[in-house]
Amino acid sequence: MNVILISLITLGVVGAVSAIILFFVAKKFHVYEDPRIDQVEQALPGANCGGCGFPGCRGFADACVKADTLDGLLCPVGGNETMQKVAGILGKSAVEAVPTVAVVRCAGTCEHRPRMNEYDGVKHCFIAHNLYSGETGCSFGCLGLGDCEVACEFDAIHVNPVTKLPEVDEDKCTSCGACVKACPKLLIELRKKGPKSRRIYVACRNEDKGHITRKSCEVGCIGCGKCLKVCPHDAITITNNLAFIDDSKCKLCRKCVEVCPTNAIVELNFPPRKPKVETAEAPKEPVNA
Amino acid sequence: MKTFRMGGIHPKENKFSAGKKIRTAEIPKQVAIPLSHYVGSPSESVVKKGDMVKVGQMIGKANGFISANVHSSVSGKVNKIDVQLDASGYKRPAVFIDVEGDEWIETIDRSTDIKRECNLSKEEIIKKIQDAGIVGLGGATFPAHVKLSPPPGKKAEILIINAVECESYLTCDHQLMLEKGEEILVGVTIIMKALGVSKAVVGIENNKKDAIEHLTELAKSFTGIEVMPLKVRYPQGGEKQLIDAVIRRQVPSGRIPIEVGAVVQNVGTTYAIYEAVQKNKPMFERILTVTGKDAPNPGNYLVRLGVYLQNVVDQAGGVPAGTGKIVGGGPMMGRSLMNLSVPMAKGSAGVLFMKDEESVRKPIKNCIRCAKCVSVCPMGLEPYLLMTQSERNMWPEMEGNRVMDCIECGSCSYTCPSNRPLLDYIRFGKTTVGGIIRSRK
């Protein structure tokens, strides 16, 4: 009986003293954390993809709370809806961000871009890129080994086994930018999703002179400048024999698509064109933007 | 017999072109002389379209410390300065020259007499080597004058001439030693003078007995030069491995050979230095081995820079039937060529035809933890671990495991019973970690 009593008292005293010490230590070294960080983190999708440029969702939440305005802070996965929620919690206003999506700037399928040799090394774009320029004559084009596919956490990009080109699933793509970083050929770009997902872009990165590009790929940009001349909005620039469409200036008139001799300019999700007789008038009517 | 102490393998030697006399390759109608080098920044072109150039005239000026001058290898008219696909399919700047005749600049001494005396001072020798655009011919094409100017506070004690030619198939250095033995030894004395050392060792692997005998005989009339036979072992031609084999000193991780008092030069480089210093001949030609199991006419060719490999291969009997892969360089370190329209560069040592069945990779199996890769690694690394870390993008761990020490010799991939692409992944990691280290500075 005595033994039990002694042990109970000893343990009780030790516990009580420890509790007092812990209580004062906790008071002394208390770190104030804004409770809103937790709230913001709750509102975020929790993908921890790093697409916002911060280490995980909590890092982003922390940055949102600390920032004076929400300018430049965007959760690409959650998009506007999430940012509105975050803005609501913090009592700040979120700038309406234009949704973007990843596009692959290479259209050189097996049929357009003949294979000149066979790569039997490691199926890893970066390793192949380090070794040599690729199976085709185009040293700028897609290697098709799927580094982007591995990098994507949202199952949104897949290499098509027939064309050997990656294809982006628009519904799943959150434009986190993981594939952009993974591509050693810098082929993937985040572009404005566009109204009704309509987009026009140059699906080529080949900076060779026209005749060299022509030899290696049927659909490569040869830098002829036809699109530059026809564009009424000054959205197109040509540097190093390669056209680029600025998505902030492009009004989706599709004139450049028509004049491109190699079909290097790609239009996505547009309704089928009207028969040829009417095309002369078609550009006059405003595009349903 | 000495060899290096850590790791190493002994692949089949297959030296089919051994003992074949060096033949001078014909000069084609047009050449494309590359302005870029394997390391360092590309040279700046100093000629323009339409200029007439002579053999040996400077056409590219070194751009920066780690860079070398480029000289015309033919006489004729500059057609254009444009890009040219290199062996890996990427575009590099090159000077295209239409060949007209074969007129050399007057300063080059074209006589075949051997000039043994060199009365130039240290600085003059190094200046001449630098002006002649000499780079290491062992493969890395590191400018020779950089190695001969040790950083302040460091003193060279011994010169080691790399004549091991440990790569299978290649015989260009071997044949050069047989035919130009005395010139090479004069070259050694010149480098010794430039470095201020009194001792030089020529390390030759024991499978070149005729070259060892020949050079030992010749070395008797030179002071301070020793010819050392070495046990056949790959990668003995690696700088750090050769130093270990010859003088039993290990270069610390991340350091250069001068830290242990050694300077290594390739035997081909030594010959080029002889020609540059004694004959005023800049580097515009080198010896190329064309070989392969089915090669119709394996041999060693003296080829001018910028000549398309296709031209040389045509003279050597063309590409044999059933060739699956053509490798530029040796089978271990060489890289397969995209096509044969690649101009000869300073670092090209060989063209190797691999048969179809030799050229395909076998299916990758799981690692069985046999640690063969660990035991063959000449740098004492753990290739299996580095590969796994590279697959998982564990860059800080890879740096801790000294991935930057890897000399990319390929012994690990060669020996792996599961055919794992160890070197591919390690090279991937090495590139990435190298980038991370550079970005810290």
Most confident of A1-10, A81-90, A108-117, B40-49: A1-10
Is the residue at A7 inside a domain? no
- CATH classification of the domain holding A58: 1.10.15
Which member of B91, B335, B360 has the closest CB to residue A139? B91
Tens of pLDDT, residue by residue over B144-170, are: 888 888 888 888 999 999 999 999 999
> Can you give the pLDDT at residue A284?
44
Is the residue at A54 inside a domain? yes
Residue A177 sits in the same domain as residue A264: yes
**pLDDT range class, residue A69, cuts 50, 70, 90:** confident
Residue A188 sits in the same domain as residue A55: no
For A155-169, A229-243, A272-286, B9-23, which range has the lowest pLDDT when averaged over its residues?
A: A272-286
Mutate to test the interface with A, among B338, B420, B423 (most CBs of A within 10 A): B338
Token pair for A252: 């989706």
Which member of A116, A121, A132 has the closest CB to residue B424? A121
| A211 interfaces chain B, CB cutoff of 8 Å | no
A225: left (phi over 0), alpha (psi -120 to 50) or beta: left
| B418 interfaces chain A, CB cutoff of 8 Å | no
Tens of pLDDT, residue by residue over A172-231, are: 888 888 899 999 999 999 998 888 888 899 999 998 888 888 888 999 999 999 999 999
pLDDT at residue B263 above 70?
yes
> Can you give the pLDDT at residue A285?
46
**pLDDT range class, residue A283, cuts 50, 70, 90:** very low
Mean pLDDT of A138-149: 91
Is the residue at A3 inside a domain? no
Token pair for B28: 């084609």
CB < 8 Å to A120, chain B: 360-361
| % of chain A at pLDDT higher than 70 | 95
Task: Tell me if ipTM is over 0.90.
Answer: no
| B408 interfaces chain A, CB cutoff of 8 Å | no
Contacting residues for A238 by C-beta, under 8 A, at least 6 apart? A223, A225, A228, A244
Residue A131 sits in the same domain as residue A252: yes
| B421 interfaces chain A, CB cutoff of 8 Å | yes
Distance from CA of B88 to the nearest CA of A (A): 4
Contact B361 A121 (CB under 8 A): yes
**pLDDT range class, residue B36, cuts 50, 70, 90:** confident
Token pair for B349: 């040592």
Distance from CA of B159 to the nearest CA of A (A): 33
Residue A188 sits in the same domain as residue A237: yes
The dihedrals phi and psi of B270, each to the nearest 5 degrees, come to: -60, -45
* Dihedral (CA of B75, B77, B82, B86) sign: negative
Mutate to test the interface with A, among B354, B393, B424 (most CBs of A within 10 A): B424
Nearest-angstrom CA–CA distance, B303 and B344 = 8
The dihedrals phi and psi of A210, each to the nearest 5 degrees, come to: -50, -50
Nearest-angstrom CA–CA distance, B424 and B124 = 43
AA letter at B216: T
| A270 interfaces chain B, CB cutoff of 8 Å | no
Is the residue at A9 inside a domain? no
> Can you give the pLDDT at residue A280?
46
> Can you give the pLDDT at residue A26?
93
For A43-57, B92-106, B282-296, B341-355, which range has the lowest pLDDT when averaged over its residues?
A: A43-57
> Can you give the pLDDT at residue A6?
94
Residue showing tokens 């495991």: B401
Contact A117 B361 (CB under 8 A): no
AA letter at B169: Y
pLDDT at residue B30 above 80?
yes
pLDDT at residue B331 above 60?
yes
Chain A residue with minimum CA distance to B390? A127
Residue A43 sits in the same domain as residue A162: no
Final residue belonging to a domain, choices A53, A70, A90? A90
Is the residue at A6 inside a domain? no
Across the A/B interface, how many CB contacts are shorter than 8 Å?
43
Token pair for B54: 């002579």
Contact B89 A124 (CB under 8 A): no
pLDDT at residue A286 above 80?
no
**Beta carbons of B22 and B175 less than 8 angstroms apart:** yes
Residue A133 sits in the same domain as residue A228: yes
> Can you give the pLDDT at residue A277?
54
pLDDT at residue B383 above 90?
yes
Contact A127 B425 (CB under 8 A): yes
Tens of pLDDT, residue by residue over B301-315, are: 999 999 999 999 999
Query: Strand B58-61 to strand B70-71: parallel, antiparallel, or no bridges (unpaired)?
Result: antiparallel
Residue showing tokens 């751009």: B63
- CATH classification of the domain holding A259: 3.30.70.20
Distance from CA of B163 to the nearest CA of A (A): 28
Is the residue at A26 inside a domain? no
**pLDDT range class, residue A89, cuts 50, 70, 90:** confident
> Can you give the pLDDT at residue A275?
65
> Can you give the pLDDT at residue A23?
95
User: Helix (H) and strand (E) counts for chain B?
Assistant: 14, 17
Q: How far is CA B358 from CA B171, B323, B329, B337, B354, in A?
A: 20, 9, 16, 15, 6
Contact A124 B428 (CB under 8 A): yes
Contact B428 A130 (CB under 8 A): yes
Domain tally for chain A? 2
AA letter at A194: G
pLDDT at residue A15 above 90?
yes
Which member of A116, A130, A208 has the closest CB to residue B427? A130
AA letter at A131: L
Distance from CA of B90 to the nearest CA of A (A): 6
pLDDT averaged over every residue in chain B: 91
Nearest-angstrom CA–CA distance, A179 and A105 = 12
pLDDT at residue A55 above 90?
no
Tens of pLDDT, residue by residue over B20-29, are: 899 999 999 9
Contact B425 A122 (CB under 8 A): yes
Residue A144 sits in the same domain as residue A221: yes
* Topology, domain B122-279: Rossmann fold (3.40.50)
Comparing A117 with B426, which gets the higher pLDDT?
Answer: B426
Distance from CA of B245 to the nearest CA of A (A): 31
**Beta carbons of A140 and A217 less than 8 angstroms apart:** no
Residue A70 sits in the same domain as residue A105: no
Residue A46 sits in the same domain as residue A138: no
Residue A53 sits in the same domain as residue A118: no
| % of chain B at pLDDT higher than 70 | 100
Nearest-angstrom CA–CA distance, A96 and A76 = 12
Nearest-angstrom CA–CA distance, A175 and A181 = 12
Full-model pTM: 0.85
> Can you give the pLDDT at residue B284?
92
Tens of pLDDT, residue by residue over A215-241, are: 889 999 999 999 999 999 899 999 989
Residue A169 sits in the same domain as residue A278: yes
* B positions 67-96 inside 8 Å of A (CB): 85, 87-91
| A210 interfaces chain B, CB cutoff of 8 Å | no
Token pair for B237: 């031609």
Which member of A126, A132, A208 has the closest CB to residue B88? A132
Q: What share of chain B is helix, strand, coil (3-state, %, to 5)?
A: 30, 20, 50
pLDDT at residue A278 above 70?
no
Final residue belonging to a domain, choices A49, A71, A90? A90
Residue A77 is part of which domain span?
35-90
Is the residue at A229 inside a domain? yes
Cis peptide before A35 (omega within 30 of 0): no
